[in-house]
Amino acid sequence: MIESLDIWLAVGGLLAGLMVGLTGMGGAVLVTPLLILVFGLPPAVAVSSDVVANAVIKPVGSIVHIRTRTVHWGLVQWLSLGSVPGILLGTIVFARTLADPASAAQLKYIIGIVLLIALAASVVRPWIVRLRRSDVEVVAPDDPRRGPMAPIKRALTLVVGFVVGIIVGMTSVGSGSLIVISLLVLYPLLAPRVLVGTDLTQAVPMLAAGALAHMTIGDVDWRVTGALLVGQIPGVWLGARMSSRYDGRLLKALLMVVLAATALKLLGVSTVICGTIAIAGVVVLVFQFIRERSAARVAQDVS
């Protein structure tokens, strides 16, 4: 029974929060598969409970960026105009079709697909940054340094918000990864700090609307949500503090390998194949890390 797992859910939330703080990867990408595959929760409960938990956590990060004036409010407005109705529509689809226990396999499949898309977006993000961004950065409209402002592509931005809102309402996954990669494509001059601040801030109204919708017509388990928050809130804080001493590159790469295997498991691939992929990927990354460290030491000794 879930009552006996509350402490372990909190521990899971703590670990997920640490990973988010250290690597910047979205919490739902980690938490939703964790709830389904590790804790054995029904996919519908995992999605609804995670949407509500995310609605509590997201404002914490956005407040920091609002205070440092690294939010592009014009983009937040147009993304929200699309994402709020999008997440409401996605939640309606979720409640009417995917929340049915008979649709559990279908929901797991959809989450697996979205997870792979989110991971692919994370992989291609550095290449898009190099291809699309020049030496000039766009800053927030109220930043005293004032940078060149690209015109807002209102229709495209609204459509991006709407599509991502639908996906998040149905799966709880993708609010960060998909928005960030879309903004990079549409606005290549957006400064990294403004990109992150805008993403976090636009997620607040979207997830608030999604949380209310899931509380009304979804399948929220408050014991699950509460236990997650008990672990995630201090976990994100600790991870953010630790990230100042560790860049998180290897950890992020390892997580992406494990999450890729997790997505394949949600898609119905056998445990043996998923485990083999995860182990092989981890071994390759560890050897690559050791090789890079050895090369760095040699270069340091030579200099």
193-237 pLDDT tens trace: 788 888 888 989 999 999 999 999 888 999 999 999 999 888 888
Positive or negative: CA dihedral 99, 37, 53, 25 = negative
What pTM was estimated for this model as a whole?
Answer: 0.82
Tell me what pLDDT residue 133 has. 52
Nearest to 1 by CA among 289, 240, 301, 223: 223
Assess whether pLDDT exceeds 50 at residue 135.
Answer: no
Task: Determine contact, residues 266/35, Cβ cutoff 8 Å.
Answer: no
Task: Determine contact, residues 54/28, Cβ cutoff 8 Å.
Answer: yes
Assess whether pLDDT exceeds 60 at residue 143.
Answer: no
The neighbouring-strand residues paired with 138 are 190
| Position 46 confidence tier, pLDDT thresholds 50, 70, 90 | very high
Q: What DSSP assignment string belongs to 238-275?
A: HHHHHHTT---HHHHHHHHHHHHHHHHHHTT--HHHHH
* Rounded (10°) angle between helices 104-132 and 177-186: 30
Nearest to 29 by CA among 201, 168, 218: 168
| Position 93 confidence tier, pLDDT thresholds 50, 70, 90 | very high
Rounded to 5°, angle at Cα 49 from 258 and 183: 60
Place of tokens 């015109």: 151
The helix or strand, by DSSP H or E, that contains position 215, with its residue range, turns out to be: helix 192-217
Residue 296: burial class (beta carbons within 10 Å; 0-12, 13-18, 19+): exposed
Assess whether pLDDT exceeds 90 at residue 47.
Answer: yes
Tell me what pLDDT residue 82 has. 96
Task: Determine contact, residues 169/87, Cβ cutoff 8 Å.
Answer: yes
Tell me what pLDDT residue 144 has. 40
| Position 86 confidence tier, pLDDT thresholds 50, 70, 90 | very high
Tell me what pLDDT residue 94 has. 92
CA distance 51 to 45: 10
Task: Determine contact, residues 81/164, Cβ cutoff 8 Å.
Answer: no
Assess whether pLDDT exceeds 60 at residue 301.
Answer: yes
Reading the block at residue 102, the tokens are 């008979």
Tell me what pLDDT residue 109 has. 92
| Position 177 confidence tier, pLDDT thresholds 50, 70, 90 | confident
The neighbouring-strand residues paired with 190 are 138
